[in-house]
Amino acid sequence: MTLFFLIMTSITISGIAQTDSQIYKWSPTDKAKSSYPYMLVGGDDNKVVSIFKERRRIISVRSYSYDTMEEKVYDTFELREGMVIDEELFDSFFLDDKVYLFIDHYNYKERDHSIYVRTLDLTSNTLSDPKLVHNIDKIKSNRRSSFMVGLCNDSTHFLVVAQDAFVRKSNTSFTGLYLDNELEAVWKKNFSLPYGAAFTEIEQLTADNEGNMHLSLEVAPEKNFNETEFRDRADRKFVLFSYFWKENKIKETDIDLADKWVAELTFDISEKNEVVVSGFYSNDRYNSVAGSFYLRLNANDLKIQASGLNPLDPKVVSALIGTKKAEKGREVPRMHLQHIIVHKEGGATLVGEQYWIRERNEYSINGGYYTRQIYYYMDLVVVKYNADGSVNWATAIPKRQESINDNGEFSSIAIANRNDELFIVFNDNARNMELIGEGSENLRNFNTMRSDPAYVSLDAEGNVSKQSPFKDTKGNFVLRPREFIQCSKDHMIILASRNGNERFCLFELVK
């Protein structure tokens, strides 16, 4: 399928608002050095649920009320670890006041790899026995198989993909399972793809409202292939792989942009049961971005309903790389797609972030050399698409986050949406609060030892406001924005750390 070219008509509209309104609440501080937050699960209208690890293998579930952030601790269980059995909690979901705990179970002696699920009923605080969901027995490879799980668009079913262990010179093969909330299989099917296992990655998975499976695949060419360069190869292709279980039919859709190259891609299902595919493209085949694309498909037959291919607005490009480079036709380097939000009418909002890592070898006074890893998380770009494939608006949000040898723990963003409004939180420097129209070269770097968070909101027309929610920044816990979830339509929660202690910060979604 080839997308149609459309002329971009986006407008960048920016504003600034700075208030001290109390839009956040802190949870109690967890001071137990033997326990730590392991996974944010989800929330409902009253509370948010998180999983903690205690004493290495003990799993506990805790909840926090939105009103007071009061902590409630539920039942615990232990994961097995040893020379024969190894277990790991690899995913969890919160649904109808129950926590679904997906456990990776590997038997070294029998070479069996399985998925078990335990459910914790928060109302009665009762933990179920492990239930076997899928088993891969007698693995013939030294490598393990891998599992992916997703809560489907209807929020009542789970999609499980169990990918077989890698075997050299074999094709990609996996098993798909569509489970109801009682963990019973509505359908189960084995798949073998016409792509080499060494050259294929399953990037995303979901199921539509009819229970049909949709996967995004990234496929690299087999000749002259280097695994370490997988994500940077320009001649890779992206495929939407769909399985229609009632008809028992498979359909593969190449995401082809004619003379453009897909830089990054994501997709989701709309409330109208349409597959919305969107991302960034490049003109020069390298790690840069020239524009964005949009594709809306009918989930039942994958026929195109709308499409758009749009270069980034020159004003946005100038804000990201400078006017001189923009006038020379340079593309935006190192822009990575972070989030997609699909709207009720079928439109979508894309959020991209400039990100890269550099290594610097320095001489030690004790002799020899050591390596510093410098993490850069820089400006954001936000593009909002209408349902017909045209761009409603696009804007750049300046940000500067540079840190050394910390894996970017306090960098990047947390993001949530409510109706047509978008909310973004990131650690910033207090002196940057009024520089919303400036590029990152004019910003001061943030400090990983203190928290000066920026709370940015964008309305339906793309107007931007920015405020600092914390009145007193000294001694505060520092947010870890990548550890977040939107736990309700009005709240998102972010993990924060200070001196080895951790707690959660709950944000109310208000302008």
pLDDT tens digit sequence for 354-375: 999 999 888 777 778 888 899 9
User: What percent of the chain clears pLDDT 70, i.e. is strictly above it?
Assistant: 87
Q: How confident is the prediction for the chain on average, in pLDDT?
A: 86
Q: Which of 32-36, 203-207, 498-502 has the lowest mean pLDDT?
A: 32-36
**DSSP three-state, residue 289:** strand
pLDDT, residue 6, reads: 34
Residues found in the chain: 511
Q: Answer yes or no: are the C-beta atoms of 105 and 82 closer than 8 Å.
A: no
Q: Which residues of 265-293 are buried (b: 16+ CB within 10 A; e: fewer)?
A: bbbbbbebebbbbbbbbbeeeebbbbbbb
> In the predicted model, is pLDDT for residue 17 greater than 80?
no
| pLDDT band (50, 70, 90) for residue 9 | very low
Q: What is the pTM of this model?
A: 0.89
DSSP-assigned letter for residue 129: P
Tell me the range of 364-373, 374-383, 430-439 where mean pLDDT is highest. 374-383
Whether residue 377 contacts residue 399, with contact meaning beta carbons closer than 8 Å, is answered with yes
Q: Quick one: 65 exposed, middle or buried, by C-beta within 10 A (0-12, 13-18, 19+)? A: middle
Residue 189's nearest CA partner among 151, 243, 251, 133 is 243
Comparing 177-181, 352-356, 429-433, 463-467, which segment has the lowest mean pLDDT?
A: 429-433
Query: pLDDT band at 126, cuts 50/70/90?
Result: very high
For residue 444, how far is the Cα from the chain centroid? 27
Residue with token string 């954001």: 380
What's the pLDDT tens digit per position in 31-40?
A: 655 677 889 9
Three-class DSSP category at 409: coil
Decide if 400 contacts 320 (C-beta within 8 A). no
What mean pLDDT do residues 163-188 have?
Answer: 89
What secondary structure letter does DSSP report for 27? P
Among candidates 89, 101, 167, which has minimal Cα distance to 131?
Answer: 101
Least confident of 16-20, 27-31, 163-167, 236-240: 16-20
What's the average model confidence in pLDDT over 282-307? 91
Question: For tokens 């030892």, what's the residue?
Answer: 449
Question: Which pLDDT belongs to residue 3?
Answer: 43
